[in-house]
Structure 1
Amino acid sequence: MELLKPKIDFVFKRIFGTEENQDILLDFVNSVFESAGEPQVLSVDILNPYIDKGAVRDKQSILDIRARGADGQYINVEIQLWNRKDIEKRTLFYWAKMYSGQLEEGDPYRKLSKTVTINILDFDYIHAEKYHTTFHLREDSTSLMLTDDIEIHFIELRKLKEQSYGTQRRLVRWMLFIAGLSNEKLEELAMEEPVIRKALTTLEFLSQDAEARRLYEERQRALRDEISAVEGAREEGREEGRLEVARNLLTMGLSVVEIAKATGLPEEDILKLQKPN
């Protein structure tokens, strides 16, 4: 049986974002905190548990996981499969919404609790070799922390090379699980870690469920359509940009042949630009 990929957001939330699997989420979050040298949390309560399977039909739905730790801090976990080129602004936006959303009208600011965002990326983004990077709000020259209320983690799956890192690190084991190894490798991880065994059992159950597999394929199609639409818009923008350059070069008096070499446009497209509208 082919297992579903845990990194597909619908599957990820079904494994990590249900009330019966809060221990799985707790272990993953603590593996991130352990890797960053941050204190462990004793428990987590999921604030938006996975219930409605219909959510995967919405291309724009954000299947993140929002939780609150026993120490009062808020935690947001989200997985991103492709690079929209705006991850830092998107991260700050959703961090700010979760942070400000703690207050009701009339509440004092001192009620605000630390808010942590954990971004799992299936692409390279941060300009560092490390697969796990952590950001806080610090003073430039002294590194003095202004407040620990903001904490942002990036976990980049593609930077983890299995042969380079031992699986004795808990975060490495979870990254390998989320990345979607072969069934044999997943079994090996599950034998070493009871919580991963529970996560794998959930994944196996999902993979055998016809409705779950249908929703999984539907979500994959929606994600592919979204990627195609964005890439198409980018290509259209690039094409218009090249045409604008060609118009400018024509104005400067360059020949059609020279402009074709400079822009990569076909000569017939450049000749069309010479014709009056």
Structure 2
Amino acid sequence: MPELLDPRNDFLFKRIFGSEENRDVLLTFLNRTFMEANKPLLSEIILLNPYTDKDSPTDKQSIMDVRARTTEGELINVEMQLFNRYDMEKRTLFYWSKLYTSQLVEAQSYSTLQRCVTINIVNFKLLKNEQYHNVFHLREDRTGIELTDDIEIHFLELPKLDAGSISLQQGGLANWLLFLQGATPDQWEVLTMNEPKLKKAMTTLEFLSQDREARMRYEARQKFLHDQASLMEAAKNAEIYGFKSGVEEGVKQGIEQGIEQGIEQGIQQGREEEKKQTALRLLRLGLAVSAIAEATGLSEEDVHSLSQSLE
């Protein structure tokens, strides 16, 4: 059998979780996610953007996410991110807000807006804790009072998943994430022991790994993602280098300007000292204060001060 493709590739992820024939797979995954967060389970979902052959692996738009609606009208968005885009938090809020506001049509009341849930599965460490599953809501800082339940954001960080500390026999979300993380077929039996619906996801992955067209689309998407990641990394490094270079150039210019200013001040001070010495010599010769001031460019007050220093 050909080598298994990586289910973390968002194109492949959508084929496994976002197709109509695998809607039950997505429903089980969502319920395992909500169960771990102590949220009510779903009975049914409707796919809003099911996978089609028209989905382009090199499309720059975010078409590789999975969107669904519950029977209560709530909207759910699931997205897989293989590489760190360095803007994940703001990007998440942006796409959540688009999902939320897309519900309103002209003249509709705000009261018709339904709850929106975003689930981000990321292949990198993002948050400053060791939990692989973090859930965010909108609450008051001191009392914890919830402003609204309309916003719910999940981050599932695959690198934080420690297989050694998880009891696979208990089933649950961790089994699904271990599958996405790259569990090998010889580990699948343990994963599916208490998560039978995982078997369908695994079968889909095996089928796609053997399908020539799917593999070509997968490789095209993988290349696109790698190219995008390289560009972002280059931009990030350029920004850091640019900042560093800017500081160095600023210091250099500051030193140069400081030296120029120092030289200019030194020359000016030298000129003033020369005027004073000339005035002192003329005072000793008995010239009038007004005449000395005119000759040296000093004020009469300065010449008087110098005259007193001679007494």
Question: Where does residue 39 of structure 1 map in the other structure?
Answer: 40
Q: 2:192 aligns with which of 156, 168, 190?
A: 190
The CA distance in 2 between the partners of 1:107 and 1:60, in whole Å, is: 28
The alignment covers a number of residue pairs equal to 254
The answer (yes or no) to whether the contact 1:59–1:226 under 8 Å persists in 2 is: no
Tell me the secondary structure at the aligned position of residue 108 of structure 2.
Answer: coil
Does the CA-based 8 Å contact 2:17-2:25 persist in structure 1?
A: yes
Within-5 A mapping of 1:14-163: 14-163=15-164
Cα distance, 1:229 vs structure 2: 1.0
Residue of structure 1 in register with 2:202 after alignment: 200
**How far did 1:169 drift?**
3.8
The one-letter amino acid paired with 2:21 is E
Contact 1:59–1:222 (Cα < 8 Å) also in 2: no
Shift of 1:83: 1.6
Q: Distance in 1 between matches of 2:235 and 2:40?
A: 44
User: How far did residue 213 of structure 1 move?
Assistant: 0.6
Instruction: Tell me which residue corresponds to 2:218.
Output: 216
Give the counterpart letter for 1:102 in structure 2. Answer: Q
Distance, in Å, in 1 between the alignment partners of 2:135 and 2:70 is 19
Q: Distance in 2 between matches of 1:86 and 1:252?
A: 34
Gaps of 5+ in 2: 257-311
**Residue 249 of structure 1: aligned partner:** 251
SS of equivalent residue, structure 2 residue 197? helix
1:121-158 C-alpha deviation (Å, 9 max, x unpaired): 11111112111111111111110111111111111111
- Aligned-residue offset at 1:99: 0.9
**Of the two, which has the highest radius of gyration?**
2
Secondary structure at 1:105 match in 2 = coil
Length-normalised TM-score, structure 1: 0.87
State the identity %.
Answer: 50
Give the deviation of 1:191 after TM superposition.
4.4
Q: Deviations over 1:44-102 (max 9, x none)?
A: 11000000354112244441011001222110000111222211111111111111111
Equivalent residues of 1:191, 1:197 under 8 A apart:
no
Task: Report the Cα distance in structure 2 between the residues aligned to 1:101 and 1:134, rounded to whole angstroms.
Answer: 23
For structure 1, the residue ranges without an aligned partner over 5 or more in a row are: 255-277
Q: Distance between the aligned counterparts of 2:209 and 2:145, measured in 1?
A: 48
Conservation of the 8 A alpha-carbon contact between 2:117 and 2:153: yes
CA distance 1:53–1:182, shift in 2 (3 Å): farther
Determine the structure 2 residue equivalent to 1:234. 236
**Partner secondary structure for residue 141 of structure 1:** coil
Point out which structure has higher relative CO (alpha carbons under 8 A, 6+ apart).
1
Alignment root-mean-square deviation, CA: 1.5
Question: Counterpart amino acid of 1:55?
Answer: S
Output the CA distance in 2 between the equivalents of 1:54 and 1:109.
33
Q: CA deviation at 1:240?
A: 2.4
CA–CA separation in structure 2 for the residues paired with 1:54 and 1:65: 12
**Does the aligned pair in 1 maintain the 2:134–2:154 contact within 8 Å?**
yes
Structure 1 position 193, deviation (Å): 2.5
Question: In the aligned structure 2, how far is the partner of 1:48 from the partner of 1:127?
Answer: 33
Which secondary structure state, in structure 1, belongs to the residue aligned with residue 164 of structure 2? coil
Q: Whole-Å Cα distance in 1 between the matches of residues 75 and 228 of structure 2?
A: 30
Closer, same or farther in 2 for the Cα pair 1:115/1:61, shift >3 Å? closer
What is the alpha-carbon distance in structure 2 between the residues aligned to residue 88 and residue 240 of structure 1? 24
